[in-house]
Structure 1
């Protein structure tokens, strides 16, 4: 009897964890595959056709003029859809030279944010076609993963995903500067 009850409990647990798989379930958009809730959490592999880089490689590429794209959120900020101007509720620090596209790492984006993000990154990438595009937010954050996938699907080339993001950058005492959204 106990073995049967234990087996039933284990099966129920397996079914519950299967519902939280990386491609289905309430954490992910079942159509696009973007993470749509609980953005802070362990992130596995990079999106298909996107190279994952560590802090040392991000620093090396930064020194060589890579295009850095910060997709950290802007808590409490408001973007005027007519002018594109952001009113920030709190300051934001980023890697020197990075372009901050606030809120563009969410799984579901308002049309104006998606257009602003994709057209802005394309403009930067086309101006410097041989430079890699490095996407980042924080360590253990799905927003940069989402943004890298979105750019890859938009056919932006030479994308790198800096999974450790600002946390990894700060961990080795690299400089940051105050930023405003692009």
Structure 2
């Protein structure tokens, strides 16, 4: 995959704020009419998920925090703007089942199909809480090659909605010294839900 020039993290921060302003609407009852009764309160919203002090080690498909210290968190419009402008490298970290070495002879193994954001690079299994030395070396080498060894390259990590794999991977990239890290928590399913395209993914060796 060719490397494209990317903007500094400051631009990412600006993009991440796009579309976040809210307007307040004040509805006044017509003259002579009684105001409508206040609607009954719905169930209380669940408390926000706090960032853990380290990597998430299990139960990876679960609600995630709204923040990742040191990274920019992107909503779908902000991620789409970066994707459309080719201003970032999108890194898919969806895990992939590894073919067992002891399968009986003649057993047919089929990889599970994965669709992701067009132009993304799929680095499977780098989002676990603990990586083997081989997987850690694979992640480091891949980011070095894909970023042309630029620590300020803009890297957008994602997986699926409610997936800690992307949170872990983005946190690990920060630990590697990358300064242009962004996290897209909505993931491939959130992207598709917004009517945006996907393409078949092939894992990077």
Change (3 A) 1:88 1:108: farther
CA–CA distance in structure 1, aligned partners of residues 93 and 80 of structure 2: 18
Is residue 144 of structure 1 aligned with residue 166 of structure 2?
yes
Residue equivalent to 2:183? 161
Give the TM-score normalised by the residue count of structure 1.
0.73
Residue equivalent to 1:97? 119
* Bigger proportion of residues as helix: 1
- Runs of 4+ more than 2 Å apart: 21-24, 76-80, 126-131
* Bigger proportion of residues as strand: 1
Q: CA RMSD in A?
A: 2.4
User: Who wins on radius of gyration, i.e. which is larger?
Assistant: 2
Give the TM-score normalised by the residue count of structure 2.
0.66
Out of 67, 70, 80, the position equivalent to 1:49 is 70
Which sections of structure 1, spanning at least 5 residues, go unmatched? 1-20, 25-32, 81-86
CA–CA distance in structure 1, aligned partners of residues 69 and 193 of structure 2: 27
Contact kept? 1:140, 1:164, Cα under 8 Å: yes
CA–CA distance in structure 2, aligned partners of residues 43 and 155 of structure 1: 23
Which sections of structure 2, spanning at least 5 residues, go unmatched? 1-49, 102-108
